[in-house]
Structure 1
Amino acid sequence: MIDRLEKEVDMLERHLQVLKMVITNEPIGIVKMSNETGYPHHKVRYSLRVLEEEDLIEPSSQGAITTDRTDEFVSDLDGKLDEINEKLSGMKIDEVAEVEG
């Protein structure tokens, strides 16, 4: 159960790292992203596909570029991550034991 969550978090981290590269280097291609991140081409390609499906990036003839939706997503991201972090912190077993004890 936790292994699955850890894999999802790792994948989200990769997606966000790829998005950050697009934001700071647009247009940017798969090969450059793969070389700079160390992720294999197929993982970068998958992240790009996910980001495109979320309408956060779009392809261009020179490489991936951001969309009109990217800024809004980025501005909301920290708050959403903070909410998730609070939920995860509340799931700790030792905190439950302290409250009950």
Structure 2
Amino acid sequence: MIDRLEKEVDMLERHLQVLRMVIENEPIGIVKMSNETGYPHHKVRYSLRVLEEENLIEPSSQGAITTEETQAFVDDLDGKVEEIVDKLDEMKIEDATAIEG
């Protein structure tokens, strides 16, 4: 159960790193992103597809570029991450004796 969550967080981290590269270097292609991140081409391609499905990037003849929705997503991101962190903090079992009781 936790392993699955950890894999999802790792994948989200990769998607966000790819998005950051597009924002900072647009237009940018798969090869350059792969070389700079160290992620294999197929993982970069998958992240780009996910970001495109979310309307955060779009393809161009020179490489991936941001969309009109990208900035709003970035503006909301920190707040959403904080909400998730708060939920995860609430799930912690601080006192193992409470389980034994």
TM-score, normalised by the number of residues in structure 1: 0.94
Gaps of 5+ in 1: none
Deviations 1:41-63 (A, max 9, x none): 00000000000000000000000
Matches within 5 A, 1:1-101: 1-94=1-94
Give me the identity figure in percent.
81
Distance 1:54 1:95, change over 3 A: farther
1:94 CA displacement: 1.2
Between the two proteins, the alignment pairs up a number of residues equal to: 99
Amino acid at match of 1:50: V
Deviations 1:40-98 (A, max 9, x none): 00000000000000000000000000000000000000000000000001100116868
